[in-house]
A and B are shown apart, each in its own frame.
Chain A
């Protein structure tokens, strides 16, 4: 069932996740920590539904970093968030390559 679910939803998931990460990166630059947390939370939830464990874990870690940033972190917290987003993008690329999703 999970293979069927992944096969059916992976292209849409990847496209959505890419868009979320693009928005998250923009929000990160604009210092919108709450916005970043929201996008990464959604990304974690969707990855979890498709049982993409590492992607869900990285996204959740990014959300935690963004929430920490929103409650008073400075440049370091912002840099942490940017690193998290980059790591999620990297993992998304691996997922794409594993599942041979067409761009």
Chain B
């Protein structure tokens, strides 16, 4: 073994980062999982926010993608709940097709790391996820 070889950091996206995806839409959950898993991520899909703090504690994800418009409780409120109950040691990112300015405001208000707009472009989505993973917890990414 060569000396001074770079070690792999746990948050390095070359290892399979675990993404917790919270979205009430089955089509969105499954299509996002397909796109991200094809690009080397592990995706844990979750249908809603019920019991979410426990899921976060159990799964210990590297990043949480949180849909904003869900029936029982909105994603920004869910971020606040998770932060209060089970401070996630990972970025929580709002995931929505709402307008960027609205998402930026919501992310700021609820304490999310930022937002990613929903897209069917897998490369674009993976790149956005990687950006937040690399910035780590609390990193704000203007997009």
Residues of A at the B interface (CB closer than 8 Å) are 1-2, 5, 8-9, 12-13, 16, 38, 41-42, 44-46, 48-51, 56
CB pair A46–B27 under 8 Å, yes or no, is yes
**Cβ A48 vs Cβ B27 within 8 A:** no
Interchain pairs with CB closer than 8 A, number: 57
Q: Whole-angstrom distance between the alpha carbons of A38 and B118 in the complex?
A: 17
Q: Choose among B24, B30, B31, B121 the residue with the greatest number of A CB atoms under 10 Å from its CB.
A: B31
Known A1-B122, A2-B120; contact A49-B26, beta-carbon cutoff 8 A: no
The 8 Å CB contact of B97, one of A2, A12, A45, A50, is A45
Which residue in chain B gives the minimum CB-CB distance to A35?
B71
Choose one: B31, B69, B71, B123; the contact of A49 (CB below 8 Å): B31
On whether the beta carbons of A49 and B122 are closer than 8 Å, the reply is no
With contacts A16-B27, A38-B69 known, is A49 near B118, CB below 8 A? Answer: yes
User: B residues within 8 A CB of A38?
Assistant: 69, 71
As a 0/1 sequence over residues 83 to 112 of chain B, the CB contacts with chain A under 8 angstroms (1 = contact) are: 000000000000011000000000000000
Chain A contacts for B97, CB-based, 8 A: 44-45, 48, 56
For A56, what are the chain B residues with a Cβ–Cβ distance below 8 Å? Answer: 97
**Within the complex, what minimum Cβ distance (angstroms) separates B111 from chain A?**
23
Please state if B34 and A49 are interface contacts (CB–CB under 8 Å). no
What's the Cα separation between A12 and B26 when bound, in Å?
Answer: 9
Pick from B27, B71, B122: contact of A9, CB under 8 Å: B27
CA distance A5 to B121 in the complex (A): 10
Question: Would you call B25 an interface residue if the criterion is a C-beta within 8 Å of the partner chain's C-beta atoms?
Answer: yes
The chain B residue with its CB closest to the CB of A8 is B34
**Does B55 reach chain A (CB closer than 8 Å)?**
no
Contact call A1/B27, Cβ cutoff below 8 A = no
